[in-house]
Amino acid sequence: MKKLLGFRFVPLTIGLGLLTVMLMVQAAKFPLLNKLEWIAYDLKVNATLPDQNNINPNIVIVDIDEKSLREEGRWPWPRNKIARLVDQLFKQGAIVVAFDVMFSEPEINAAEKVIRQIDPASPYNKTLVKSIEKIKPRLDNDTILAKSFENHDVILGYVFHHRTGDNIGTLPDPIKIKTTLPENLAVLTLQGYTSNLQKLQNNAFSGGFFTVFPDADGIIRRAPLILRYGDEIYPSLALETVRTYYVVDNIEIKTERFDNLDIIEHIGLGNYNIPTDAYARINVPYFGGPKTFQYIPATDVINNKTDFSLKNKIVLVGSSTEGIYDMRSTPVHTVYPGVEIQASIVAGILEQNFRFEPSWKDGADFLVTLVGGLVTVIALPFIGPVLILPVLIIIGGMLVLFNVWLWTNQALILSIAFPLLTVFLIGIFNIAYGFVKESAGRRQLKSIFGQYIPPELVEKMSSSLADYSFEGESREMTVLFADIRNFTSISESLTATELKNMLNQFFTPMTRIIFENKGTIDKYVGDMIMAFWGAPLEDKHHAKNAIKTALQMLQEVEKLKPKFEKAGLPEINIGIGLNTGFMNVGDMGSNYRRAYTVLGDTVNLASRLEGLTKFYGVNLVVGENTKNAVDDYVYRQLDFVQVKGKKEAVHVYEPVRLKTEATQELWTEIYDHENAMKLYLERTWDEAEQAFKNLKEQHPQRVLYSVYLERITNLRSMQLPENWNGAYERRSK
């Protein structure tokens, strides 16, 4: 016995040492461990998705989809159209309607738009203005929408964020709680919010946030049910929807004292207990990939064309269209509608179908790793190298079966990746040690494995897979968004055939120009073209080629105008936004439809830049990175602007023309413009105003100078902070 143990002393000792190190690593909670557990978690989610026939039939998603955008026009829709949608939903029997979209900015009254265009100096016009003023209340779409909420259970969505004091809109009332909460409640606290217009929120039944926090890998696995803002507790959109559905007046928050904190155990909703983690977060109970729930196009509801009954249904209104940018990455799909995340949480609460991480999870994880590791350390030295792999598979399989049993039968989430890693690391060591021992040192571990898998072949296969892979990656690229202005009005003036022919005549030369300049077409969405440079083929001059493309597209539009006029088609103008930076590129989608596309903040900003073209009265807007990458052009600085969805302001520019083609008149205007901007930033309002007036007189067609003259008038009366840097917040998209 002593001899036997002596022979196994080395693998036993080293195995125990490896186990000790792994337990220390587990206790330290290194970020790599999270990534491993996230992978295992995602595999379990996808492996245990419920039968599609068991999806809760009481939950319906009204989808602002591509069909709805084609038939009803580009988003955002007029508020009176949203009001028709609300009226139809309740007319068709919906009990609760929750919006996964916000209405944070007032809609300009159509009568107000007309009044602004009328010359008030004319006596006739004064009478006309009075007449228009009389009908102005009937054209107040915000009021129309607010009235549609009256006497209905409408839940409006909003978001919390970390920006202190950067609040928009009106928050709903906080949720009522049965008991007094402890002072040290461990609940997530945020500093600011973006909510809905006051008149809309006041007329709605209540509201709930749809703020979610992705894990470090960008995937949404958990979502908070409650958040704290100030001294109050607010519910999520899903929680508030179910509370309204069940007509529950208040909730119960059960806590447990842990050190100096009161951690949350579960949230009580009537007769239901919702298990949460210590910070009131639940693991989103995904039921399947995108569109697992019943989806109905919003346009069908508006026009009463749906055959699906909404009687006694919970309806969530949102969008599955990538162009509206409410897509999230989830364990079940990389591009997943945000509204369906809320639907999944609602279904989970209704069906009490939640898996949760218990408060004692860390201790249980440590114990599982210890037991699994000890069994492996003790068992493997006493068997031959050939049997180690089967034994490892058995031990690992038992750990997996136990973990899956807890997952499926007890709804408990415990770690599995790290215990498996520990077992297999100990196993690999024993395999290596066993082969080295049996070969008496004649070969190294590498040569032993080389007998079975030639290294050259492995390297060749790996290289081949990399060459043909469409896996996502991050690259510095340039992305372009181009959009036809006033497309809704144009489309309304044409038949479907005429509109199709017009778009074909527009898209064909635009696509040709993009291809000629090494660009990749991402997609066409209605009247919008999205393209990028730098993938799949690398392009060192992606920014330069993108600007060249944009200017050629604008020239081509001018050539198309007389052709369209001759053909009896409306005149078209386009706005283009360009941005350069790192973005994710790869083959994304489902088993039925995939697309090679780009995602990321750089892409979102490019879309916002395109939206700024009309505001500044220009056809092309580029970001600062694009400008800095290409020095061949004369640029006109447009603004230092904080676009919607961005925390920081960005410099935006208009590429005017190549420096080699610039005239002395253009250089003079650019110089005068830069001087006016300098005076503006120095807050010398009189000099700045005069400088912009001079520019406006010399170039009356330039909308930009009118923008700054109006802005200077507003800023004169404002108390600006000492560190004011000229940043302008643009809240519209």
Q: Tell me the C-alpha distance between 41 and 35, whole Å.
A: 10
Residue count of the chain, please give it.
733
Each residue's pLDDT tens digit, 346-363: 999 998 888 888 878 888
Side-chain-facing half-sphere of 73: CA atoms under 13 Å: 16
Sole residue written with tokens 């119960």: 252
**The token pair that represents 55 in the structure block:** 């999806």
Q: Tell me the C-alpha distance between 107 and 533, whole Å.
A: 36
User: What integer is the mean pLDDT of 475-486?
Assistant: 93
**pLDDT over 80 (residue 457):** no
Instruction: Using alpha carbons, list the distances in angstroms from residue 537 to 230, 533, 540, 683, 722.
Output: 50, 8, 10, 47, 48
The pLDDT value recorded for residue 120 is 63
The pLDDT value recorded for residue 471 is 61
Tell me which residue of 621, 615, 614, 626 sits closest to 636, measured CA to CA: 621
Q: Which helix (H) or strand (E) holds 636?
A: strand 633-642
pLDDT band of residue 27 (cuts 50, 70, 90) is confident
Each residue's pLDDT tens digit, 117-140: 676 666 666 666 666 667 776 778
pLDDT band of residue 445 (cuts 50, 70, 90) is very low
Side-chain-facing half-sphere of 85: CA atoms under 13 Å: 26
Say which DSSP state 168 is in.
B
The pLDDT value recorded for residue 463 is 42
The type of residue at 373 is G
Question: ∠ CA 469-470-474 to the nearest 5 degrees?
Answer: 110
For the chain, the average pLDDT equals 85
Instruction: Using alpha carbons, list the distances in angstroms from residue 98 to 242, 249, 299, 353, 733.
Output: 10, 18, 17, 21, 23
Rounded to two decimals, what is the model's pTM?
0.57
- How much of the chain, in percent, has pLDDT values that exceed 70? 88
Q: Tell me the C-alpha distance between 530 and 609, whole Å.
A: 13
As separate numbers, helices (DSSP H) first and strands (DSSP E) second, the chain gives 25, 26
Lowest mean pLDDT among 443-447, 587-591, 729-733: 443-447
Each residue's pLDDT tens digit, 499-545: 898 999 999 999 889 888 888 888 888 889 999 998 877 889 999 99
The pLDDT value recorded for residue 541 is 93
Q: Tell me the C-alpha distance between 611 and 317, whole Å.
A: 24
Are 366 and 26 in contact by the 8 Å Cβ rule? The answer is yes
Centroid of chain to Cα 696: 40
Which DSSP string corresponds to 638-702?
EEEEE-TT-SS-EEEEEEEEEGGG--HHHHHHHHHHHHHHHHHHTT-HHHHHHHHHHHHHH-TT-
**pLDDT over 80 (residue 490):** yes
Lowest mean pLDDT among 129-133, 222-226, 436-440: 436-440
Q: Tell me the C-alpha distance between 119 and 126, whole Å.
A: 8
